[in-house]
Structure formats: structure tokens, C-alpha cells
Amino acid sequence: MWRQLTGSIVDADLIAVNEKPGARVVFGGDVSLGRRQNAHSASNPSEALEDVPQLKEADLAIVNLESVVANQGEFDVEKGESGPYYFRGRPETLRVLTEQGIDIVQTANNHSGDYGTAALLEQLDLLDQAGIGHAGAGPTRDAACSPTFRRAGDVQVAFFGLDATMPYFSAWADRAGTCFLSLADTQAWQHLLATRIEQARRRAHVVMVGVHWGDNWQEVPSQRKRRVAQALVNAGADAILGTSAHLVQGVQMIDGRPVIHDAGNLLFDFVEDRTMATGVFTFVLSKLGIIQLWFDPLRGRAGRTETAKGAFRAEVLELVAARSRGLGSEATFTKSHRLVWELIPATDRPEPTELLPPNPLRPRAPAAALTPPGDCISVAVPEDARIEPVKHGPLTLLGMRVDPQKITKRDMLFVETWWRVDKPVTDDFWIRSQLVPIDGSENHTWLGDHEPCDWLWPTSRFKPGVIYRDKYGVRPPDNRGLMNGTLMLKTGVLHKRKVVGRLTDGPLVLVERTEY
């Protein structure tokens, strides 16, 4: 799974550390409610995180929401990438958060704007309605870069959210988006936050800054990240809560302030060996600041996360301890099988001048929509997409097309299909969009399995006689070359991950690559 570390603690004598009482703020990493998570959580949303008890036990729980939750938008948003990922969850997936006690989400990351500004703003409204605080995105840059406030027991907490990964989503003075800054401009971080943190202290004992930064799969934080972390501490942050790499990195102490460089994945619809090792961090607070930091290991699964146990738990503890040690931070292994860092809070911090009201009660997340999005319904199949109707189980395929029909570089292919049912369907079938090389080239098969209407309208909601349009972006295969040749679109349906009948042949795509 990862390189075996020396000095295993499986049979070691663990140290009894006094885990101090105080208000608890729990921080988990990336939570994606998009793609397959829509299906994973459709029948039992509480299952996804119900085996992470620290969330409900916390006075305040914070995660990075690595997707947009909305009914609006399409994923043709420019991201400056040759095969971008687009993550959108149906609004009712917010129950994954509300049922497990998530109080604050960071909304500044490289997926917040996946479906455009209208979807981003819809998500903020949905979070407000669900009583979930958010920071990092807004209708203007000033709003996006402003904190949200919540109470952890009798400790008042301010939380900022910033992104350093996706400049295309940056908010402007008159445009909705995220609070984006480049890691290349260290001073800009201190300049942006110093005054804002000073103002936030009028309402907060503790100020935390969430940052989505760095490249995927980095085990060690870059020097740029470390310089920015120092700038944030200089600006007055009490703690830095990092995400983006999808791996748990080490904890660094800068001038006595904890920097979690990356908390890994808390919940994703996929899992690899390297993403299984994850966990949650607990900050123990007093009104003078942070007095302890704990790390509890978790095991990531596809669509759910669970408490890590036994030898695996010990390995994750040692992994995080070793990565922290490499950053000059020494943690203690405890008899409760967690890591603990001792911190020294301030001795003379003034009280905030404004008392925060109690945290809002969280109502239930939005119910499932009663009507499909407008672009999911068609009066008729366009003439250039029509085919002789083909039955795929209870669904009938009426039309298909792909755009573009010629590509010269690694890029997305957008597939549109049209469907009908003759009688109500009780199960949820998935659409399989597959692009297959037909001429012996070295291209690889492209796959785009998904639920209809880009995950928004499962087949169990289909009504007989209605024509449903699905548009989905099929990504080129990861880490593989794109050679000249011809691809054929093949379309069908899946039931419980198995193809129903045979796929239907569709239009061709010519590949004439000009960039290598």
C-alpha cells in the first residue's frame, strides 16, 4: 500500500498522554458529493460517514466540500486542463453532511466552479438553508474572502477558505467565484489576510484558515506551500487546515501554530491503495487558543469511510507521525491509539468584543427534486442524432451524437443520448458511454459510466412517454498516450455495474493528434 516504515508501533509500549479537556474542532479533508457518490448515498446518506464518530462528537466539524451541489449548470466550464474532472452532487446529498454534524465547509477549491457561477451560488443558498456555514466562495471577491463564524462550546471560531489550485474560478469585484491566490506570490497571502484576521478577532477567540493547495499525490508539502504557511501565521492564523493532495501529509509547527498540510480524503466515490490511509484532526481549544491537536486514523472506502482498526490503524499512525517528523514536528503515540501534539496557547489574548449567537440549528437537507432540470427533457430528438430505437432493458435509446467529431489533442468528448421508458422503472440504471478504437491504433477505450442527466435524474424518476436527454463529458484515459486513429461511440445501460444486452454502435471520432 505504501513503503513499509521502520519501528512499527503495533507491539510498542504506548505513552499515556493527558488528552486535555476543552472545546473540540474536528477537521476532515476532502468530501466529494459528486459523480458516483450520488448513487452511493441515494438510499442511506448516513452510511457514508456514520463510522466516523468524531464528527458528531465535535463541538464544531469542518471539511472541504470538493464538489458543487446544485441542480444547475453544465460541465463545459473552462479549467485549463486537457481532461478535467467535474463533480456535482444532487442537492439532497447534503444529507451526508447534515446527518453527521458537519458545521462548516470550505467552498474554495478546484471543483467549486465546475458547473459555472449559477451553480456555485445555488450551492451557497442550499448550504445556508441547511444551516451549514461556508467560506471561500461568494458573489464577489470580498464575500469569497470573508470568514464564517461559529461557536465551539464557549470558544468563538472564525474560518477562512482559500484556493491556490484553480485560477479560472477566481472571484472578481463583480463576478462570483472563489477566494483564489497563487502560491507563487507569498506576500499576497499575508497582505490579503492580515487585516481580515485582525478584524475577525473582534468576534473570534481562534482564527483558522483552510487552504486548498498543492498538486495531487504529493506526500511531502512543497517549499511554496511552506512559505505560504509561514505568511499565514505571520498574518495571525492560529491554525492552517490544508487539502488538495488526496493524501495525508505531515503536521508542521510554525511559531507554535499547527499546519495540517493535507488531511487527505475524508469521503470520495473512488479509492486507491494510497488514498485508503486517511483520518481526522481534532483541535482542543481554550479561549486563549489551541492547546492540543489529535489525529485519529480512518480507512477510506469507495463512497464511505470507517474507523481504522488493528495493524492498519497502527500503520496510518506511524505514516503520519513519520511525515510530521520530516517537517520537524514530533507527535506522541497514546494508549487510545491516536497521535497527540501539545501546544502552548497565548497568555494574554483579549476577549472578542462581539458575542456570537448559538450555532444555527441544522434542518434537514433539501429533499429530492420533483421535476428534472430543463435541459434533461427534449420535445424531440434532433434530426442529426436520431437512430432506429433500440431497447436496452426497460430503456429505449432514441438518439446519440458526440462532439467534437475530430480531436487533435488530449481533450474531453461530449456525448449526448436520448432515452424513453414505456412503463415506470423501479431500479436505477446507469448509462454507459464508451469510445472504442476500431482500427488497431494504440488508443485506449474511453469510459463514462453515469446516471442520466449527468447524475441529476435517476431512471427510477423517469416517466413513460417523456424523452430524456443526457449530456456527459467522457474523459480521455489517464496517463496514456493519444495516438492517431478512429474511435466509435458505443452506448447502452448498466444494471448493478453489468451491461444490459449489447451496446449500440454510434458515430465515429477521428483522432489526428498534432501535439505530443
pLDDT digits (tens, 9 = 90+) for 134-146: 999 999 999 999 9
DSSP annotation of 355 = P
Residue 484: which pLDDT band, with cuts at 50, 70 and 90?
confident
As its CATH architecture, domain 374-511 has Distorted Sandwich (2.70)
Is residue 279 within 8 A of residue 297, CB to CB? The reply is yes
Residue 237: which pLDDT band, with cuts at 50, 70 and 90?
very high
pTM of the model: 0.94
Tell me which fold the domain 27-342 belongs to: Purple Acid Phosphatase; chain A, domain 2 (3.60.21)
Q: What are the residue ranges of helices labelled H in 12-102?
A: 37-40, 53-57, 95-98
Residue 514 has pLDDT above 80, yes or no: no
What's the rounded Cα separation, in Å, for the pair 17 and 20?
Answer: 9
What's the rounded Cα separation, in Å, for the pair 61 and 27?
Answer: 6
Is residue 181 within 8 A of residue 141, CB to CB? The reply is no
Specify the pLDDT at position 16.
54
Is residue 154 within 8 A of residue 287, CB to CB? The reply is yes
Residue 15: which pLDDT band, with cuts at 50, 70 and 90?
low
Specify the pLDDT at position 10.
41
Is residue 429 within 8 A of residue 459, CB to CB? The reply is yes
- The dihedrals phi and psi of 79, each to the nearest 5 degrees, come to -125, 0
- In order of 211, 368, 465, 491, the CA distances from 427 in angstroms are 40, 16, 18, 19
What's the rounded Cα separation, in Å, for the pair 338 and 298?
Answer: 11
Residue 235 has pLDDT above 90, yes or no: yes
Is residue 100 within 8 A of residue 63, CB to CB? The reply is no
What is the widest separation between alpha-carbon atoms in the chain? 77
Every domain of the chain and the residues it spans: 27-342, 374-511
State in Å, rounded, how far the first CA of the chain is from the last one. Answer: 32
Residue 71 has pLDDT above 50, yes or no: yes
Specify the pLDDT at position 480.
63
The string of pLDDT tens digits covering residues 167-210 is 999 999 999 999 999 999 999 999 999 999 999 999 999 999 99
DSSP letters spanning 239-277: EEEEESSSSB--EEEETTEEEE--B-EEEBS---HHHHE
Specify the pLDDT at position 241.
98
Q: Per the structure block, which three cell numbers stand in for 362?
A: 441544522
As a whole-number percent, the residues of the chain with pLDDT over 70 amount to 95
Q: Per the structure block, which three cell numbers stand in for 356?
A: 456570537
By 3-state DSSP, what share of the chain in percent is helix, strand and coil, each rounded to 5? 20, 35, 45
Parallel, antiparallel or unpaired: strands 446-447 and 430-437: antiparallel
What's the rounded Cα separation, in Å, for the pair 130 and 33?
Answer: 15
Which 3-state string (H, E, C) describes 451-505? CCCCCCCCHHHCCCCCEEEEEEEECCCCCCCCCCEEEEEEEEEEECCEECCCCEE
Q: Which of 296, 266, 269 is nearest to 281 (CA)?
A: 296
Mean pLDDT along residues 129-135: 96
Specify the pLDDT at position 385.
98
Mean pLDDT along residues 77-92: 94
What's the rounded Cα separation, in Å, for the pair 170 and 7?
Answer: 45
DSSP annotation of 339 = E
Give, for 116, the enclosing helix (H) or strand (E): helix 116-129
The string of pLDDT tens digits covering residues 20-70 is 889 999 999 999 999 999 999 999 999 999 999 999 999 999 999 999 999
Specify the pLDDT at position 1.
31
Specify the pLDDT at position 2.
33
- In order of 27, 277, 278, 288, the CA distances from 308 in angstroms are 17, 8, 9, 32
Specify the pLDDT at position 432.
97
3-state secondary structure of 190: helix
Specify the pLDDT at position 63.
98
Which position has the grid cell 461556508?
A: 134
The rounded Cα 372 to chain-centroid distance in angstroms is 24
For the chain, the average pLDDT equals: 93
The string of pLDDT tens digits covering residues 358-373 is 998 888 889 999 999 9
Which 3-state string (H, E, C) describes 297-322? EEEEEECEEEECCHHHHHHHHHHHHH
The rounded Cα 214 to chain-centroid distance in angstroms is 15
Specify the pLDDT at position 443.
63
Residue 11 has pLDDT above 70, yes or no: no
Residue 421 has pLDDT above 80, yes or no: yes
Mean pLDDT along residues 63-81: 94
Strands (E), 102-178: 104-106, 133-135, 137-138, 148-152, 155-163, 177-178
Residue 158 has pLDDT above 50, yes or no: yes
Residue 266 has pLDDT above 50, yes or no: yes
Specify the pLDDT at position 3.
33
Specify the pLDDT at position 6.
35
Strands (E), 130-231: 133-135, 137-138, 148-152, 155-163, 177-178, 206-212
Is residue 303 within 8 A of residue 269, CB to CB? The reply is yes
